[in-house]
Structure 1
Amino acid sequence: MTSLYLLLWIVGAILLQLSIYLSIGFWRHWQTYDALRISVAQGGLPAEPSPALAPVNTPAPAWSGWRAFKVTHKVIENAVGDICSFHLEPQDGQAVPPFLPGQYLTFRLEMDSPAGGTESITRCYSLSDGPRANGYRVSIKRAPASLNSTHPPGRSSNYFHDQVQLGSVLQVRAPAGHFYMDRSDAPVVLLAGGIGITPMLSMVNWCFSEQPGREVWLFYGARHAQELMAQAHLEALADMHPNFHLFICFSDTDKKTDLGSPYQRHGRITIDLLRQLLPLKPYHYYLCGPTPMLESMVPALEDWGVPDSRIHFEAFGPASVKRKSAAQQASLATPAQSAETAVTVNFAKSSQQLTWPAGGTSLLDLAESQGIAVNSGCRAGSCGSCQTTIRSGEVGYQQAPDYDPEPGTCLLCVCTPKTDVVLEL
């Protein structure tokens, strides 16, 4: 075989491979286009999850119980100084396992008790960076006392800001939580309000490290520029990645005020803004922020036609955010409470037997209303502090808690009785 024939064979093989690759790419794009065309004709987004979205199982905790971590850096993150990042490395010097972007760490804090002495409290904070082998980062906003309110400032956040210093050792549970970005190539929309930006930073940093070609839209809401965290970092990512679409929305900035960046705009994050900017695609929506934001945006996305399977959220108190579909199913499936269907709650150690009140919110609220002392932390099903043994009966959850209770127990803060129940309290 002459060199000319050999060259022709090589060129032919390359052209054949290229044509196969282009044919496969065209077919995939045609399937996507055809699905979108059908969905437009039917007046909404596809009702079923994208086949490309591979399910991701939450990994088992990387270690059991508590592990000591040392604070190696403490960094103020915004102009007003109320957000501080804490970089943590394990005291035993061993590598830390990866986590799913969006998950949180649980801390056990030993602090002064208002009644004197010390007490242990448990709190959860979102991881605010992508996974790395030598440590973790959490970013915590100081919670001041509310104006004209008798409620004290946030104990744990102020403890972190004022008491935790370089070299401090903290007791930490392994990363956990069901709120995280999937590992498919599906386009995503991230909606963050205030300190709700922390899990979104974890998602963004992970995504552009592991999936730099993935389409990501981030809408970050704050009152004004002085509250922003990681502004320069996010804008640099937007400059580098044309598939990263960044919108920073200021709710309290005067519209006459000049904005310092093309990524900034006046106004709140609203469904109308999303309608205006987002192309017609089967996005997955991830939301984190104050409860009022989620109480507005989650129903608005549902009304827009986004399927439940594509709306993922974490609130500061997520049990208070109800999906419309879940509420409708509950109203159809659960008859109104009557004398014949009254449910009894028995707190065994406290020797109290109560009738579950119509419209009751949680077993924790019921216990506290009767002066029963309950160890609690997040009040949102995340930390496990209120885990209590069920002696008999059955309870139900309005939504799956992040913390997985042990068999035969329940999380009082996010459950209600389904039958007469006896609790170990």
Structure 2
Amino acid sequence: MTSLDLLFWITGGVLLQLALYGCIVFWRHWQAYRALRNVAAEFDIAVNAEPEPELMPTASAAWAGYRTFHVERKVVEDASAQVCFFYLVPEDKKPLPAFLPGQFLTFMLDIPSPTGGTHSVIRCYSLSDAPHPSHYRITVKRTPAPLGSPFPPGQSSNYLHDQVEVGSQLQVRAPAGHFYLDPSDAPVVLIGGGIGITPLLSMLNGCLAAQPGRELWLFYGVRNRAELVMAAQLQALAAQYACFHLHLCLSNPLAYDLDRHRSGPVHTHHSRVDVALLRRLLPLKPYHFYICGPTPLLQSLVPALVDWGVPDGRIHFEAFGPASIPRKKPVSATPDTPHGDDNAVEVSFARSGRQVPWQPGMGSLLDFAEGHGIAVSSGCRSGACGTCQTRIRTGEVVYTQAPDFDPEPGSCLLCVCTPKTALTLEV
């Protein structure tokens, strides 16, 4: 045997050993993968932790500042004309960017003043449908004057209901907001109270369009059937999609609600939405919970879900109106944020002449100011509209989440920041 032949056999032996080693490694990984899938199937847990690329929605602000839209359609939803849909089309007729289901639009409304002329009001309204390239849809409930209160009715909602018609022009900022549906294939529980159903309609329609097999539960709480929004459409979706489970919760049902015979895939409960109901109906799965509604709903449900054992990262919520919902774990921790009762920070409100100590757990500066009777203009309460922008006279703040709106230098957005040092604010 020549030296060349010997080299050939040695090389062949080495390659054969490498091939056998590769096959053994692959076989072991394959066995581990099959075992993992068997466990996932046993507990009905999705193996794909990350969303498929084609199912991941994108949301990029396609325009800066305000863009002119006109009302293409205005649809009154209920017999009492308390809820209205507005279909908005851009004047420039350019395609609209996709948004994340659950986000909102910010409007600058020129509302007539009682003394003549107009004044600008900034308000945020949730998108209430799946993304569409030609139009956006918002749903607005008329806000009446509170009973026994000197406060007037909601000026923006009544303006939209009474004075904005088909063809009216509106100034609109691009979709924004941090309350939106996670695009993974994890099962979802949507919980809406009253008009808080609005962003959940966007989540529901968007999910059924992009992920028609994803498990969805909707618990929709109202006082009685007369207050339901899109009841017929919801029932039709429940009949069409086996993965969608619809539960209506009537806290104060009318005799008509009790006596009426109903058929179809809709479950009705004569109670409020609470954790006892969820624990009775939901199988044990890694759900993501999305809750939107009035403050009392969030204040009762969010801590109860945590007590039930739902991980904090799987509880997402948005309040319609001022709310500060305590979490047992902070959403984000910043090393510069003081901790402990001994680390109170003095916050001064210059125009109001107030000095109040702020401590961790007291919420954002907006919640803190409102809790001490200091009026601050606000809109989205999530760092997107800029309504609560306030000048900082002295001191520094730290943001609990990155704002979508860029505040002016020397200013901050009170709704998404807390004091880092002793602070003096303009309000």
Same fold (TM over 0.5): yes
Q: CA deviation at 1:380?
A: 5.7
Alignment match, 1:335: 340
Alignment match, 1:7: none
Q: Aligned pair count?
A: 385
Alignment match, 2:407: 406
Alignment match, 1:282: 286
Q: Distance in 2 between matches of 1:369 and 1:318?
A: 10
Q: Distance in 2 between matches of 1:100 and 1:362?
A: 24
Compared CA separation, residues 117 and 267, structure 1 to 2 (3 A): same
Compared CA separation, residues 368 and 161, structure 1 to 2 (3 A): same
Deviations 1:367-413 (A, max 9, x none): 7999999654345644211213435422245x537644437431124
Q: CA deviation at 1:131?
A: 0.5
Letter in 2 for 1:131: P
Alignment match, 1:238: 238
Letter in 1 for 2:270: H
Q: Spell out the pairing of 1:177-256 with structure 2 (5 A cutoff).
A: 177-254=177-254, 256=258
Alignment match, 1:15: none
Q: CA deviation at 1:317?
A: 3.3
> Which deviates further from its counterpart, 219-228 or 364-373?
364-373
Alignment match, 2:124: 124
Q: CA deviation at 1:108?
A: 0.3
Letter in 2 for 1:99: F
Q: Spell out the pairing of 1:86-125 with structure 2 (5 A cutoff).
A: 86-114=86-114, 116-125=116-125
- Aligned partner of residue 278 in structure 2, secondary structure: helix
Q: Distance in 1 between matches of 2:388 and 2:198?
A: 25
Letter in 2 for 1:150: P
Q: Does 1:30 align with 2:47?
A: no
TM-score, normalization: structure 1?
A: 0.80
Q: CA deviation at 1:103?
A: 0.4
Compared CA separation, residues 373 and 232, structure 1 to 2 (3 A): closer
Compared CA separation, residues 336 and 371, structure 1 to 2 (3 A): closer
Deviations 1:57-85 (A, max 9, x none): 97442211000000010001123321000
Compared CA separation, residues 415 and 277, structure 1 to 2 (3 A): same
Q: Spell out the pairing of 1:370-385 with structure 2 (5 A cutoff).
A: 376-378=378-380, 381-385=383-387
Q: Distance in 1 between matches of 2:214 and 2:275?
A: 23
Alignment match, 2:422: 420
Q: Distance in 2 between matches of 1:366 and 1:274?
A: 32
- Aligned partner of residue 245 in structure 1, secondary structure: strand
Q: Distance in 2 between matches of 1:128 and 1:312?
A: 17
Which one scores higher on RCO, CA 8 angstroms, separation ≥ 6?
1
Alignment match, 1:139: 139
Q: Distance in 1 between matches of 2:80 and 2:35?
A: 52
Alignment match, 1:42: none
Alignment match, 2:259: 257
Alignment match, 1:162: 162
TM-score, normalization: structure 2?
A: 0.79
Compared CA separation, residues 80 and 353, structure 1 to 2 (3 A): closer
| Larger Rg over CA atoms | 2
- Aligned partner of residue 295 in structure 1, secondary structure: helix
Residues 288 and 294, structure 1, Cα contact 8 Å, conserved in 2? yes
Letter in 1 for 2:243: N
Q: CA deviation at 1:323?
A: 1.4
